[in-house]
Amino acid sequence: MTTKEDAPLFNRSYLKLMPVLVGAVILWLSLSNQSDKAPKIETLTPDHTYLVVHKQTTVPALHLTYAVAPGLSYQQAEYRHAIQHAFNQALGNYPAISANWFDDRVTLHIPVSRIRSGSLPKLIDAFITDVFDLYPNALKRAAAEHYLDQNEQQAQALLNLTQQIAGYRSTVSVQQVFSQPPLALLELTSRDKKLTQDITQQIAALSSRHASLDTQDASSLSTPSSIHLTHRGTGYLYMLGQAARANTMDDTDLVASQLLGQQLATLTSNSDIQFRLVQKPLRPIGYRALLLQKDSPFKAGLEDRLKATIEQTLTNEQLDTTRTLLVQQYRDQLADSQSRIALINQGLFYNRPTVSADQFRDTLDDITLAQVITRINEWLDPNRSLTLLIEPL
């Protein structure tokens, strides 16, 4: 007699079920991997209007991205801070609408349920009116806050860098934000031709009041130069800064910045040097900077010593680890609904395709250690940079 313990693991009934179970597992794995794929983005009319369909979307929404000139000079930064404050105050009157701010743009997120039947232009008009009304008081507040911010040494150094960016003359004002039509991304859970047509007609009505959206990058840093400042305190600050445009930054820059930060953290861990990497590759023009602070004077040839040390210590194992980390972060972004939309919006704004996780991995795999070292050396080259030293009187 066969006991329960002696029973075969698979009998005929189990074997009959196996194809069904295997098929179910394959289907589940296939569905669970959908988030890794590149989102299908459909171009609509009018210009700069797009549709993305994603089943995991929790709230179908329209995302309107307005270009905002980065605040590079002291006055521009003050105006931009005031605009952001006025925006955030105005949103208090529209609980269904939310916004995400970036250095060169702002995105309004509006549930589709709020913009049926021609209500979008009226809604945006009302919001813009509120922003304009709130702006004067916001500017007064920003002036006081920004003045206090600029007393910090690193802020002074970065301000000297951004003011050296030549050719950048864009105004920063509420009028500037709304002088161009927004980039519009419609996010739905399934295709709905009637709804899509209704919303695109409203976007067309909203956009018809403006000139075409300017997506061109411009300007560059003036001839590399050196600035020497003094202060009444103690300590020394040294900065290497360069102009950085969003349309010229690539995945090699992404990997290089990660590895440069790791190397600097290791090199400064047992010293009195503190470092900060700032990267703002923006549209139409941004910047990147390495700031170093210590209690004693910096010796000449700092950049060459840094480059030589990094070239000797940076390994392919570190490169592989960084690539793996970046790919996983990218997968996480694609898997999360909100992060996925932010990624798509960013790609559309900078005219870059939003690729699948596998495509991103393949791109990073093609980046060599020599390419990364070359890019880091360019960042640490004083002949390409504005160099600034702040030291005690």
Q: How far is CA 120 from the centre of its chain?
A: 27
* Least confident stretch, 29-38, 207-216, 314-323: 29-38
Rounded average pLDDT over 57-78: 88
Looking at the predicted structure, is the pLDDT value of residue 215 above 60?
no
Q: What is the pLDDT of residue 26?
A: 38
Q: What is the pLDDT of residue 28?
A: 37
DSSP annotation of 234: S
Q: What is the dihedral of CA 161, 162, 166, 169, to 10 degrees?
A: -160
Q: What is the pLDDT of residue 32?
A: 39
Give all strands (DSSP E) within 24-127, no chain letters. Answer: 41-44, 49-53, 61-67, 98-102, 105-111
Q: What is the pLDDT of residue 238?
A: 96
Max mean pLDDT range (156-170, 222-236, 338-352): 338-352
Starting from the edge strand earliest in sequence, which strands make up the sheet with 236-244, in order?
Answer: 226-231, 386-392, 236-244, 286-294, 274-280
Q: What is the pLDDT of residue 5?
A: 39
- Residue 190: phi, psi to the nearest 5? -155, 165
Query: Can you name the residues that pair with 228 across neighbouring β-strands?
Result: 389
> With pLDDT > 90 as the criterion, what percentage of the chain qualifies?
60
Rounded average pLDDT over 54-67: 93
pLDDT band at residue 219, thresholds of 50, 70 and 90?
A: low
**Token pair for residue 64?**
């309107």
Sign of CA pseudo-dihedral 207, 210, 211, 216:
negative
pLDDT band at residue 84, thresholds of 50, 70 and 90?
A: very high
Q: pTM value?
A: 0.84
Side-chain-side CA neighbours of residue 137 (13 Å): 8
Classify strands 236-244 and 183-188 as parallel, antiparallel or unpaired.
unpaired
